[in-house]
């Protein structure tokens, strides 16, 4: 009796187990991919609007929101990596531009969300990636996220998510 005839049932069983393991791993690895977001704004209404917009895009997840820049400094640790950091400019105690200097190493992108004109903000801090003028529309928000993802060749799970 050839050895392949004897080993064939065991080989089929091993292949079946391997296929099952691959399917299980694939299901595990296909957990929804998301990008983390943080918001720092002293106006609760502005936080609520950005939070709703983040919830509206399935590959974004709110890491945390702060209505005080000092709380953001205390809470966001060196090990945290935030993809999109939304900062107001005018906040009590510390300007968003100053906070940006402290959190820059922890954020992939800094997006100022402010009622200031963009040119005014650029004169203060030219290192930010994007600017959202208040009041912020969902269309402008989604377009900004889309632009940053595409310009930086970042993967997204579903291109139709925006």
The secondary structure of the chain in percent helix, strand, coil, rounded to multiples of 5, reads: 50, 20, 30
123 pLDDT tier (thresholds 50, 70, 90): low
How far is the C-alpha of 153 from the C-alpha of 151, rounded, in Å?
Answer: 6
One-letter-per-residue 3-state SS of 83-139: EEEEECCCCCCCCHHHHHHHHHHHEEEEEEEECCCHHHHHHHCCCCCEEEECCCCHH
Dmax (CA) for the chain in angstroms is 85
Q: Which of 112, 105, 152, 107 is nearest to 128 (CA)?
A: 112
How far is the C-alpha of 23 from the C-alpha of 15, rounded, in Å?
Answer: 12
pLDDT in tens, 55-103: 999 999 999 999 999 999 999 887 788 999 999 988 999 999 899 999 9
pTM, whole model, 2 decimals? 0.74
Lowest mean pLDDT of 49-63, 118-132, 140-154, name the range.
Answer: 118-132
């Amino acid at each position: 009796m050839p050895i392949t005839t004897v080993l064939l049932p065991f080989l089929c069983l091993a292949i079946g187990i391997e296929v099952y393991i691959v399917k299980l791993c694939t299901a595990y690895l296909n957990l929804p991919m998301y990008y983390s977001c943080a918001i720092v704004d002293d106006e609760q209404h502005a936080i609520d609007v950005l939070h709703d917009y983040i919830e509206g895009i399935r590959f974004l997840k709110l890491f945390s929101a702060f209505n005080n820049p000092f709380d953001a400094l205390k809470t966001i640790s060196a090990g945290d990596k935030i993809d999109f950091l939304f900062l107001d400019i005018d906040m009590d105690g510390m300007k968003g531009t100053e906070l940006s200097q402290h959190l820059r190493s922890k954020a992939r992108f800094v997006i100022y969300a402010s009622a200031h004109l963009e040119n005014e903000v650029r004169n203060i801090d030219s290192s930010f990636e994007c600017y959202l003028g208040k009041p912020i529309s969902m269309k402008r928000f989604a377009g900004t996220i889309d632009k940053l993802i595409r310009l930086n060749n970042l993967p997204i799970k579903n291109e139709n998510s925006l």
